[in-house]
């Protein structure tokens, strides 16, 4: 556990997780129109896209470093297909990675413009289970899952993520109620 590969694997995973949660939170704020008047919408969308793309890059980097670390014993197939050999604690992370790919890659402007909005929106909502599976992966595969600092930061990030989700849900309910009257 004292290898620098282990620290690199751990740090890329932490950065990927924080970027994923930040992209999700930013998307909820942006989609709920809860952004105020000070920043233009294109700035908010550009930051959301950058956070999502960076999260995907750091997730891929996390997987690559995990593969290169000889102490993990992970094979290439373990990082692209969930299986019983690597265990489901790794498998949840693999599924989260593929869900992130499904969310981020179609969001590229040229692809997004060719998709029906309802399809793009449905695919984009896969970010929610992707972040949840990423959290399950970090709780099951992370060495620090029992550490006091990890559980406090984890609870803080979950709490911070719940606020924009509730703002988004409340804005949808408010728009539906307004449209019905």
Domain boundaries, the chain: 4-180
69: left (phi over 0), alpha (psi -120 to 50) or beta: beta
Longest dimension (CA), the chain: 63
- pLDDT in the model for residue 37: 54
- pLDDT in the model for residue 27: 85
**Average pLDDT per consecutive 10 residues, the chain (181 residues; last block may be shorter):** 82 93 86 60 83 95 92 88 87 94 85 86 90 90 78 84 80 84 81
- pLDDT in the model for residue 140: 86
Enter the CATH code of domain 4-180. 1.20.120
Q: Is 137 exposed, middle or buried (0-12, 13-18, 19+ CB in 10 A)?
A: buried
Q: Is 102 exposed, middle or buried (0-12, 13-18, 19+ CB in 10 A)?
A: middle
d(C-alpha 31, C-alpha 33), whole Å? 5
């Amino acid at each position: 556990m004292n290898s620098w590969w282990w620290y690199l694997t751990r740090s890329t995973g932490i950065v990927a997780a924080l970027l994923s949660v930040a992209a999700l939170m930013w998307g909820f704020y942006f989609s709920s129109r809860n952004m105020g008047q000070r920043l233009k919408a294109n700035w908010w969308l550009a930051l959301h896209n950058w956070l999502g793309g960076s999260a995907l890059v750091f997730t891929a980097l996390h997987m690559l470093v995990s593969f290169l670390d000889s102490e993990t014993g992970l094979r290439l197939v373990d990082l692209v297909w969930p299986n019983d050999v690597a265990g489901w604690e790794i498998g949840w992370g693999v599924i989260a990675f593929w869900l992130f790919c499904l969310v981020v890659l179609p969001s590229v402007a040229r692809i997004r413009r060719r998709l029906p909005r309802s399809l793009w929106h449905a695919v984009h909502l896969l970010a929610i289970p992707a972040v949840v599976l990423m959290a399950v992966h970090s709780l099951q595969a992370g060495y620090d899952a029992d550490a006091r600092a990890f559980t406090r930061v984890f609870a803080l990030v979950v709490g911070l993520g719940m606020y924009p989700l509730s703002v988004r849900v409340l804005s949808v309910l408010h728009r539906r109620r307004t449209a019905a009257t």
